[in-house]
Amino acid sequence: MGSDPVPSRRSELTGPPLERAVWHPSPNFGLRRDGLTPTLVVIHYTAMKDARAALERLCDPESVVSAHYLIGVDGQMWQMVAETMRAWHAGAGNWHGQDDINSRSIGIELDNAGTHPFSEPQMAALERLLSDILIRWGIAPDGVIGHSDMAPGRKCDPGPRFDWTRLARRGLARDCRTGAAAPETGEFQALAQSCGFTADVPEEALLEAVRLRLRPWARGPLEHGDMAALAGFSGGS
């Protein structure tokens, strides 16, 4: 997260909201560091009572958290931070060897506890938003990731019920090719890192993150299926 200094000329920095979103500005943002622009989109779930509760927290200066967008279960969308600004949604983590994900990304919160499927109106709204963002910033589908991808062991959202396959079929996330040859399990960490999972975490946390993205039903020790899924993910870009 972090507590960046809030720019004083806020009206010039927030900019107009996305046309389909309700503008509900959060004070919790700052300038993107080192001249960075968005190359990633990080998807979260709120794990709160409802969208209104999440909106209040994301706009509470004492919470020191925010996101660029929030989408409710009915597809209602709020924009809290301008895309040009650095929202405080990702926290510590790493993806493809890069840190300060907040400065490199746009954060989208989905009203969901992580224990049930994401609604059709919500997914449809997310798809429209993602399509706009990827075009606007020239971000490849590979740049759409989950919070758990870049923060293994610390975060588990958007969770096992999120439909990554649906996004991939629409060209809005990296696809995972089936039938890929699986390397030996001893190569797990190197293969996971080549796919982007570069956070410095124990293998157990790394496996959990990989499974959340690719095999959320899997349990137990590392197995052949995990390696085959990673090999397919590596070749799916």
| Residues designated as active site | 109
Burial class (CB in 10 A: 0-12, 13-18, 19+), 132: middle
In contact, 87 and 81? CB cutoff 8 Å: yes
SS3 144: strand
| Residue 10, token pair as written in the block | 């806020």
DSSP designation for 235: T
CA distance 185 to 203: 12
Residue 132 token pair: 């706009």
CB-based contact 66:83 (threshold 8 Å) = no
Q: With contact defined as beta carbons under 8 Å apart, do 69 and 129 qualify?
A: yes
Q: Rounded to 5 degrees, what are φ and ψ at 207? A: -65, -40
Cβ(64)–Cβ(1) below 8 Å? yes
